[in-house]
Amino acid sequence: MEQSRKYKAQSIHYIENAINCVGTGDSQKASEFLWGSVAEALKAVAAVKGIELRGHKFIRDYARELAKDRKDATIFDVFIKAESLHRNFYELGTELEEVYILSGEVRVLVDKLFRLIPEEEN
């Protein structure tokens, strides 16, 4: 599905930007890019199934449902951490070191989500 590829490409773009922002010491922008990467990866997985996620509540609900269906609590756990990084963009307060540590967890989750997309969709 074309939409799934678009979401995946955007997720990759965001994770690359997040890594660059961590490198330059901008925890605020890195936080937002990490959140965006997770959100777009979840949208990519949902799009393959014909599901459109509009807004945070739908993305959160889908992450929770996917974690339950896959019997993998880390999907929702890391999603919640990424969501907290999203708040950091507006409220600040998360140290660069913590953003860096969470970026590793986000990358693992995004990779895991990408593996749920059938090969022909990639």
What is the tens place of the pLDDT at every residue in 15-66? 999 999 999 999 889 999 999 999 999 999 999 999 999 998 999 999 999 9
- Greater confidence (52 vs 93) lies with 52
Contact 84, 60 (CB under 8 A): no
CA distance 70 to 51: 17
Q: What band does 95 get if pLDDT is binned at 50, 70 and 90?
A: confident
Average pLDDT over residues 82-111: 85
pLDDT on residue 88: 62
Class of domain 2-117: mainly alpha
Q: How many CB atoms lie within 10 A of CB 57?
A: 9
pLDDT on residue 45: 98
